[in-house]
């Protein structure tokens, strides 16, 4: 609990100290931090918007730029990287092709960093934004520091699957099942504020059984530990332990005879939340 | 006239003679045009041969030709091509698989990946959103690792891969995927590594790091450990990946400067700035005649320059165009511009 308050304090303090802004006017998410991106965590967010001009999310110094025509072709296409006074580095990918050598390096929030494009491995025009904290050596979910996007849609929880001894059942409101150790997975998605049915993952997910917290997943930061990225914020978890067959692995529980309640809740970054409760009659 | 006056007059005459009749370079070098190939209308493609062909990639086209500039294979780019003298991968913008083909166009192997490839010697490095992996030309995987930062450069030997990262460090990885060495140069206001290169014998590593100041660092392998042995601050600062590599005999490091090429002598620890303008393309060192040949590219086009180690230009030829190509093989120079491939032979008189 203390840790959560500390992170919240840090976020509020940094928002007060630094005027973060969305890099595209009227920006909305098309892919969220930590979601399954080709069998790995997505280390940033993808943004589309009404505007096409990309500006820094915070004033900073341009320390790197790469072009689609460089010998070392990046899947991020044309990319620019800014270094900020607070130790953050922001990375802007898939910018429109063929920009000239930059004529200045100190960029304010009102400067044009580039144009939204689809350079590199990208189907459609969108901006890929990553924020790396050089002091703590971790990728930070940009959503927790960007201003609220005005999202009013709550996440959706579906396909809650209980697996025991290799056989699976989809949980309904009331269920009769045998005792034993089971695994729970769920399909939890957030459609965000775009109104375009773009599936992203929510910001936090909890699972309770018999009133006890079984799992807490929060998409705050990604940090390298022993050569692999670990998601932090809730209980630390690696990619292979979070995603199973496209669903989110919620945890294991032991079912003993009687009536019990399983509760799963999910919230987005704007605080919209959904809770589903399942009654389990174990006999 | 006193003794002093006599010597002063003698020195003045000697200086005058030296200025009026500078010493000859010994030989005159002439580039004689041999053939021109129009890639949009190739005359004929000779029977594909996989031996001794030269690869090219320029504009929309890539392929192979013989030393006499006979075309053996030509195709159009899909999105990009990674090509060596033995194999190529012509890949789309959104790849699902990569088709590794021999220089005659026959299939060699298939690699399932969503990343972009880079063929370096007999290896293929693939970088995707999250992973970097190393394969042989037959599609066999050596290793795969999660990428934790932006990769700014790659350099390979027969046994190792050197990767530099924007986060300010470089990492040397063995063929089995173990990290043999990591190096974080530091010493600058902004930590970043913009380029790193390893000599083919694995004895030296050169690194360009940081901003304010940006530094060149040379490391040497001593007792199976790399130690910095020389460093200096660069006159200009790059904020992008910098082309840098060792000469074939590993005695020099070539890397960009804002007006051409820096040549660092590994043994003498001296730096020569060569060329007057343009971005460094390919550089070749001719050990027999002791000169360098380089292509320098700028907005107007490119210039092919032959120069001595003390930066005396012995031959210069300008080319106009957007897509440029340059290779040197023995005494032949192959230059490509705007879908035209040309071969020149250098004759020394």
Residue B10, pLDDT above cutoff 70: no
Q: Find out if CATH 2.70.70.10 is the number for domain A2-145.
A: yes
Which range among A194-203, A215-224, A245-254 shows the weakest confidence by mean pLDDT?
A: A194-203
What is the greatest pairwise CA distance in chain B? 89
Rounded CA-CA distance A226/A178 in Å is 39
Pairing of strands A114-115, B190-198: unpaired
- Chain A: nearest CA to B134, how far in angstroms? 15
Residue A9, pLDDT above cutoff 50: no
- Which band of pLDDT confidence, cut at 50, 70 and 90, is reported for residue B290? confident
- Mark yes or no for CB contact A72/B129 under 8 Å: no
Cβ–Cβ contacts within 10 Å for residue A214, how many? 18
For residue B130, which residues of chain A lie inside 8 Å, CB to CB?
A: 37-41, 43
Q: Is A253 on the interface with B (CB under 8 A)?
A: no
- Mark yes or no for CB contact A121/B167 under 8 Å: no
- Chain A: nearest CA to B71, how far in angstroms? 24
Which tens digit of pLDDT belongs to each residue from A71-115? 888 999 999 999 999 999 999 999 997 656 788 999 999 999 999
- Mark yes or no for CB contact B118/A72 under 8 Å: yes
Q: Do domains A2-145 and A156-282 have the same CATH topology?
A: no
For residue B167, which residues of chain A lie inside 8 Å, CB to CB?
A: 132, 134
For residue A64, which residues of chain B lie inside 8 Å, CB to CB?
A: 150, 152, 166, 192, 194, 239-240
- Which band of pLDDT confidence, cut at 50, 70 and 90, is reported for residue A252? very high
Q: What are the domain boundaries of chain A?
A: 2-145, 156-282
In this prediction, residue A194 carries a pLDDT of 64
Which CATH code, of 2.60.40, 1.10.3470, 1.10.10, 1.10.8, is assigned to A156-282?
Answer: 2.60.40
**What is the pTM for the complete model shown?**
0.89
Q: How far apart are the first and last CA of chain A?
A: 36
Helices (H), ranges, chain B: 3-20
- Residue A10: both structure tokens together: 């840090």
Cβ–Cβ contacts within 10 Å for residue A200, how many? 25
Residues 6+ apart with CB under 8 A from A51: A24, A25, A26, A27, A116
- Mark yes or no for CB contact B153/A72 under 8 Å: yes
- Residue B43: both structure tokens together: 């005359």
SS3 of residue B13 by DSSP: helix
- Residue A235 CB burial class (10 angstroms; 0-12, 13-18, ≥19): middle
For residue A224, which residues of chain B lie inside 8 Å, CB to CB?
A: 146, 148
Which tens digit of pLDDT belongs to each residue from A163-207? 998 899 999 999 999 999 999 999 999 987 666 678 899 999 999
- Mark yes or no for CB contact A65/B80 under 8 Å: no
Which range among A164-173, B60-69, B202-211, B312-321 shows the weakest confidence by mean pLDDT?
A: B312-321
In this prediction, residue B14 carries a pLDDT of 47
User: Mutation test of the interface with chain A: which of B97, B112, B117, B130, choosing the one with the most A Cβ atoms within 10 A?
Assistant: B130
Rounded CA-CA distance B81/A13 in Å is 48
SS3 of residue B149 by DSSP: coil
């Amino acid at each position: 609990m203390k840790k959560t308050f500390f992170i919240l304090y840090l976020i509020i303090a940094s928002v007060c100290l630094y005027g973060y802004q969305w890099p595209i006017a009227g920006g909305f998410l098309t892919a969220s931090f930590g979601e399954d991106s080709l069998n790995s965590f997505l280390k940033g967010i993808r943004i589309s918007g009404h505007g096409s001009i990309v500006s820094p999310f915070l004033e900073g110094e341009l320390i790197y730029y790469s072009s689609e025509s460089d010998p070392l072709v990046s899947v991020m296409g044309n990319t620019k990287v800014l270094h900020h006074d607070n130790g953050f580095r922001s990375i802007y990918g898939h910018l429109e092709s063929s920009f000239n050598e930059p004529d200045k390096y100190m960029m304010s929030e009102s400067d044009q960093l580039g144009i939204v494009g689809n350079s590199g491995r990208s189907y459609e025009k969108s901006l890929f934004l990553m924020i790396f904290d050089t002091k703590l050596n971790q990728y930070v979910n940009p959503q927790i520091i960007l201003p609220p996007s005005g999202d009013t849609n709550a996440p959706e929880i579906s396909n809650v699957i209980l697996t025991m001894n290799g056989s699976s059942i989809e949980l309904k409101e009331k269920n009769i099942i045998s005792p034993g150790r089971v695994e729970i997975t769920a399909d939890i998605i957030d459609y965000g504020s775009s109104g375009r049915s773009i599936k992203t993952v929510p910001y936090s997910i909890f699972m309770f059984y018999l009133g006890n917290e079984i799992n807490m997943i929060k998409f705050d930061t990604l940090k390298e530990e022993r050569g692999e990225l670990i998601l932090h914020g809730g209980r630390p978890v690696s990619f292979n332990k979070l995603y199973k067959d496209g669903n989110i692995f919620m945890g294991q529980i032991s079912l003993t005879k009687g009536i019990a309640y399983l509760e799963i809740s999910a919230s987005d970054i704007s605080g919209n939340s959904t809770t589903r409760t399942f009654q389990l009659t174990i006999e | 006239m006193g003794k002093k006056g006599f010597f002063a007059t003698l020195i003045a005459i000697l200086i005058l003679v030296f200025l009026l009749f500078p010493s000859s370079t010994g030989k005159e070098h002439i580039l004689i045009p041999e053939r021109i190939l129009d890639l949009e209308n190739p005359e004929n493609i000779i029977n594909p041969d996989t031996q001794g062909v030269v690869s090219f990639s320029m504009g929309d086209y890539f392929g192979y030709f013989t030393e006499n500039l006979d075309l053996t294979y030509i195709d159009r780019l899909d999105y990009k091509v990674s090509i060596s003298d033995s194999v190529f991968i012509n890949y789309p913008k959104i790849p699902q698989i990569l088709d590794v083909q021999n220089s005659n166009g026959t299939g060699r192997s298939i690699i399932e990946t969503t990343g972009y490839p880079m063929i370096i010697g007999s290896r293929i490095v693939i970088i995707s959103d999250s992973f970097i992996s190393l394969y042989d030309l037959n599609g066999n995987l050596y290793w795969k690792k999660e990428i934790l930062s932006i990769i700014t450069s790659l350099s390979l030997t027969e046994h190792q891969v050197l990767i530099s990262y924007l986060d300010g460090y470089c990492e040397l990885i063995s063929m089995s995927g173990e990290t043999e060495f990591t190096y974080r140069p530091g010493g600058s206001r902004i930590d970043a590594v913009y380029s790193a290169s390893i000599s083919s014998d694995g004895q030296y590593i050169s690194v360009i790091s940081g901003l304010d100041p940006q530094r060149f660092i040379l490391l040497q392998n001593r007792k199976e450990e790399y130690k910095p042995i020389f460093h200096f601050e660069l006159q200009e600062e790059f904020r992008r990946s910098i082309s840098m590599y060792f000469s074939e005999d590993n005695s020099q490091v070539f890397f960009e400067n804002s007006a051409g090429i820096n040549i660092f002598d590994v043994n003498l620890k001296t730096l020569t700035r060569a060329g007057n303008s343009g971005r460094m393309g390919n550089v070749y060192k001719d050990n027999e005649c002791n000169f360098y040949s380089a292509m320098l590219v700028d907005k107007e086009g490119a210039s092919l320059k032959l120069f001595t180690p003390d930066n005396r230009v012995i031959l210069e030829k300008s080319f106009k165009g957007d897509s440029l190509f340059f290779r040197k093989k023995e005494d032949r120079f192959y230059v490509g511009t705007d879908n035209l491939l040309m071969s020149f032979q250098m004759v020394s008189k």
